[in-house]
Chains A and B, each alone.
Chain A
């Protein structure tokens, strides 16, 4: 049975059930169990394919290094033998930055161009890799044991590339629609609640605006994920049919899909908040090489966790689709 719009938020139910052991009605308990099961199986599936975490992490690291390399050379030239550089260890010194930008202004304009080119390339590579991520995780959810997973991974990358690319293009259009919807909302919101300052991010007004924007963009992300799931599960079908199927599934299971996404996002937010807390604590550590190394390690741990969790998003949603479709088939 599909969820009705008046039903309570499944993400909230998950929290109530898991943390506070609040007794829930049977239907809701079932929803919660489906979501929790999807996450648990999703985590297991990713853990069974740890190399995917490595690939995702290395992909980001590699492109970040490419973007860092020219800056490293500039930093070394400007700050490598500069007495005043030590100011940067203590705090943010804007005056050093101003002179740095002025000195490298021509190089930086070329760097900016390079930045966009590398970024564009990174997106293409990621679209290519995403076929592998989704393909392997789909196999895992179907309990297919493969011996040569790396070969299979790259085979999926090639196999699904074109479809993934089309989905990415479609999503660009959806993001634009979401953005215009946000602008429309903003006009109404500003006329009711006033404009306020861009920099007052802690004000209720700004939090409301950011939340709406995040909701709309997350919605597009969810659509994208389910399009990919239906694409890899029904690879032979026409693209338009897949889109229809994905939307039909999302509309009939909207709150379950949303609940799962919220739960996963909630965990990610907790991880980020934990990092922020740790970062604050680390501010007190003397900024010697060891202290900086420690900060670097914590940052990279967060990056690895984010890579892992991104895959959990994929995997859990595949499991959710499987479960809900199976349920539907088993109905008389």
Chain B
């Protein structure tokens, strides 16, 4: 068969598409305040676009779908094979990679309801050529050898029919009660990189996703009473004769499509700077509505002003039963959360989760880095962004917990997370290759966020804002890599930050500086002549006096206990109040500062402004000759009282 017949170059359909869009834009531009007017201004070059018709069968917990997938080869090489993700197959048995890696490997074995899978019933090229018999499915990856290779810049179209059996809610997909969360649910094209390499990884327990931008036209048919939240803009809603309805959504400049549906959902909406903010919530979370919407509004405004505008005109928050091993999750224009019972006016847990997931709209949604291979670029960035938002809203120190005198900030949380496993893995590596989930989180989420915090402290807040703003603008709707960010950081800062990033991102070393010793030894007395003018007149022989000033040789011994070498500031304070600043390049294992002073040394501090938040142990960053007994006494007396109280209660029987 002729390749030209197999591969649709799409010239006529592209023209049609253009005309259609042009008419629509013209039509909607007459409504100046309409959210639709901007909704169609699509910026990302569509590489993988989908037209999906799906029917939800709530009784059998199945999705029956038909998909037309249009894919453009943007690489420099011809492609003779296509790779597609079939994510629901991760739940098909306990032997899948995902289940074996997951925290609940036996789950699927326990109950049939926990199983989920995807069946591919038909794959045709638009010419009618049947690819079904050629497909090779390896769990969550489907390989499709093409009869003719797809040249660069050409487009191919596939017609796929599929059935998804939904599991009882697990991680990011499934049902609970009568409600459904439908994420990673359709056959989805893997990413063909510029060099012709297919970036197609299996679904792993600790990794997320990576896909190309495109347009999504999704029509969902489901029971009439179901409330739906989805990526994209609702174009049409029609009632069918069989007590079902069909909702048609369109989304452009996105790389995924998710939806939730259920008869139990309630909806609350708010307009935020032209963005329609929608919260779909369960009735039991009614009291949380204002809090969630307030937090989301704050985050959208804060991130838009800090990094760059939120591109879309709609944002959906869905209250979802996330299921075992999951958590809140980000999708384009959409997040799922589960409001926490632990969240009170003293514990900002809901805000923490919301700020994090909303930050992903920038670092994943619009700047779409590879979550499989370089997860720090979205998770680390989102933890850092969530911290900035929390600090902006609730202050620097107690932005997370301010309860019973206990004040905890997001920075503290990140430090705890990092210290749980700071040395097992490097930060930039495939997500599934980390030692375990703890190490993955410690490095990808927390170490990376503290790295960005350290960078901000070193560069200054304004420079950091400039860097992130530029990073967002330059890589919006693209797939930047770690090197792109490092290069940009070098460019914006005007410094070579490569060694800084290399050590923290590509090494397992830690940063730990210590003041090992401080001392002042009297060495000599310095003479200083002075004249008494009054005496000079009457007793010239005694007119000249010599005053002696004690000189000390002051010594500060600094040590680098960790492997990370980074320049540090040292602040030395003398007993007479004089402050002396010194710098150490931090290259050697130790460094001795020696100088003469007129007063004894009182203290020495490495990194006095706590800029290097990745320093493993800040308690050894300083030494002082001043007694700290009162603090020790305070701590001990308090602990003694607690112990006495503990004894009192536990011996009361």
A296 to B652, CA, bound (A): 23
Determine whether the beta carbon of B415 is less than 8 Å from that of A98: yes
Determine whether the beta carbon of A71 is less than 8 Å from that of B639: yes
Interface hit among B250-258, B341-349, B353-361 = B341-349
Interface hit among A10-18, A29-37, A82-90 = A82-90
A67 to B646, CA, bound (A): 11
A313 to B75, CA, bound (A): 84
Q: Which residues of A contact B650 (CB under 8 A)?
A: 119, 122-123
- Can you name the residue of chain B whose Cβ is closest to the Cβ of A122? B647
Q: Is A64 an interface residue (CB 8 A)?
A: yes
A86 to B605, CA, bound (A): 14
Determine whether the beta carbon of B643 is less than 8 Å from that of A168: no
Interface flags, A113-124, vs B, CB<8A=1, else 0:
000000100110
Determine whether the beta carbon of B624 is less than 8 Å from that of A82: yes
- Can you name the residue of chain B whose Cβ is closest to the Cβ of A97? B412
Q: Which residues of A contact B406 (CB under 8 A)?
A: 92, 94
> By the criterion of a CB under 8 Å from any partner CB, how many residues of chain B are at the interface?
52
Q: Is B496 an interface residue (CB 8 A)?
A: no
Interface residues of A in 87-105 (CB under 8 A from B): 88-89, 91-92, 94-96, 98-100, 102-103
Interface hit among A135-143, A195-203, A232-240 = A195-203
Determine whether the beta carbon of B653 is less than 8 Å from that of A171: yes
Interface hit among B118-126, B141-149, B562-570, B630-638 = B630-638
Q: Is B644 an interface residue (CB 8 A)?
A: yes
Determine whether the beta carbon of A99 is less than 8 Å from that of B637: no
Q: Which residues of B contact A72 (CB under 8 A)?
A: 632, 636
Determine whether the beta carbon of A88 is less than 8 Å from that of B635: yes
Determine whether the beta carbon of B648 is less than 8 Å from that of A102: no
Interface flags, A45-83, vs B, CB<8A=1, else 0:
000000000000001110111011001100110111111
Set B416, B419, B618, B652: member contacting A96, Cβ < 8 A: B618
Determine whether the beta carbon of B637 is less than 8 Å from that of A296: yes
A65 to B640, CA, bound (A): 7
Determine whether the beta carbon of B632 is less than 8 Å from that of A79: yes
Range of interface residues on A (Cβ < 8 Å): 35 or more
Determine whether the beta carbon of B640 is less than 8 Å from that of A68: yes
Interface hit among A20-28, A144-152, A181-189, A284-292 = A284-292
Set A59, A79, A102: member contacting B628, Cβ < 8 A: A79
Determine whether the beta carbon of B624 is less than 8 Å from that of A122: no
What is the interface of chain B, defined by CB distance below 8 A to chain A?
Answer: 284, 341-344, 346-347, 403, 405-409, 411-412, 415-416, 419, 603, 605, 616-625, 628-637, 639-641, 643-645, 647-648, 650-653
CB contact under 8 A between A99 and B643, given known A83-B624, A86-B628, A287-B630: no
- Can you name the residue of chain A whose Cβ is closest to the Cβ of B346? A199
Determine whether the beta carbon of B624 is less than 8 Å from that of A75: no
CB contact under 8 A between A68 and B639, given known A289-B633, A310-B648: yes
- Can you name the residue of chain A whose Cβ is closest to the Cβ of B633? A292
* CB of A310, distance to nearest CB on chain B (Å): 7
Determine whether the beta carbon of A198 is less than 8 Å from that of B342: yes
Q: Which residues of A contact B411 (CB under 8 A)?
A: 95
A175 to B640, CA, bound (A): 27
Q: Is A212 an interface residue (CB 8 A)?
A: no
A300 to B642, CA, bound (A): 11
Q: Which residues of B contact A59 (CB under 8 A)?
A: 647
CB contact under 8 A between A123 and B651, given known A64-B640, A100-B619: yes
A254 to B68, CA, bound (A): 78
Interface centre among B407, B622, B648 (most CB of A within 10 A): B648
CB contact under 8 A between A86 and B631, given known A119-B650, A220-B653, A296-B637: yes
CB contact under 8 A between A199 and B347, given known A99-B618, A102-B419, A102-B616: yes
* CB of A294, distance to nearest CB on chain B (Å): 11
- Can you name the residue of chain A whose Cβ is closest to the Cβ of B624? A83
